[in-house]
A and B are shown apart, each in its own frame.
Chain A
Amino acid sequence: MVTNIVKRILQTVLILIGVALLIFLMLRIIPGNAILTMMGDKTNPEAVERMTAELGLDKPFYVQFWMYIKGVFTGDLGTSYSLNRSVSELISTSFPNTVKLAIAAALVAWIVGIICGIIAAVKKNGIIDHLFMGVSLLGVSVPVFMVAMVLQYLLAYKLQWFPISSGNAGWVGYILPAIALGWNSAGSIARLTRSTLLEVLQEDYIDTARAKGYRQLYVIIRHALRNAVLPVITMMAVQLSSLLSGAVICETVFSINGIGRLAVAAIEARDIPLLQGTVLFSTVIVILGNLLADCLYSVLDPRIRKEV
Chain B
Amino acid sequence: MEKKIKNTVEDGHGFRSVCYRLWKENKVAVFCALLIVIFALAAICAPLLTPYGYDEIVTDTYRLSQPSLAHPLGTDEVGRDVFTRLLYGARISLMVGIVPTIISMIVGALLGIIAGFVGGKADAVIMRLADIMLAFPSMLLAMVIMYTLGDGIINIFLALALVNWASVARIVRAETLKLKETEYVEAARSIGVSKWKIMMRHILPNCIPSLIVLFTLNIPSAILSESALGFLGLGIEKPMASWGLMVNTGRQYLYTNPWLSLAPSAAIMLVVLAFNFLGDGLRDVLDPHLKNQ
Contacts and interface: CB of A to CB of B under 8 A. Distances in A.
Given A152-B254, A153-B258, A248-B139, A30 B273 contact: no
Given A143-B227, A153-B254, A286 B135 contact: yes
Given A18-B128, A153-B258, A248-B143, A30 B137 contact: no
Contacts of B136: 19, 241, 279, 283, 286
Interface residues of A, number: 51
B140 A149 contact: no
A241 B138 contact: yes
B135 A19 contact: yes
A26 B131 contact: no
Nearest to B280: A137
B251 A149 contact: yes
Nearest to B140: A279
B215 interface: no
B255 A146 contact: no
Nearest to B231: A145
A40 B74 CA distance: 37
B-side interface mostly? helix
Given A27-B148, A143-B227, A279-B140, A137 B277 contact: yes
A143 B140 contact: no
Given A22-B132, A138-B273, A248 B254 contact: no
B220 interface: yes
Nearest to B28: A134
Given A15-B128, A141-B272, A146 B266 contact: yes
Contacts of A149: 247, 251, 254, 261-262, 265
A54 interface: no
Interface in A228-276: 241-242, 244-246, 248-249, 252-253, 263-264, 267-268, 270, 275
A291 to B, nearest CB: 10
Contacts of B148: 26-27, 29-30
A22 B162 CA distance: 12
A56 B59 CA distance: 52
Nearest to B291: A195
B241 interface: no
A14 interface: yes
Contacts of B251: 145, 149, 253
Contacts of B118: none
A267 B265 CA distance: 24
B273 A241 contact: no
Contacts of A143: 224, 227-228, 231, 265, 268-269, 272
Interface in A137-169: 137-138, 140-146, 149-150, 152-153, 157
Interface of A: 11, 14-15, 18-19, 22-23, 26-27, 29-31, 137-138, 140-146, 149-150, 152-153, 157, 195-196, 199, 241-242, 244-246, 248-249, 252-253, 263-264, 267-268, 270, 275, 278-279, 282-283, 286-287, 290
Closest 8 pairs between A and B when the two form their complex, measured CB to CB: A245-B139, A146-B265, A18-B132, A141-B273, A141-B272, A244-B137, A245-B137, A195-B292
10 contacts: A15-B131, A19-B135, A30-B148, A143-B231, A143-B268, A146-B266, A149-B261, A244-B137, A267-B147, A286-B136
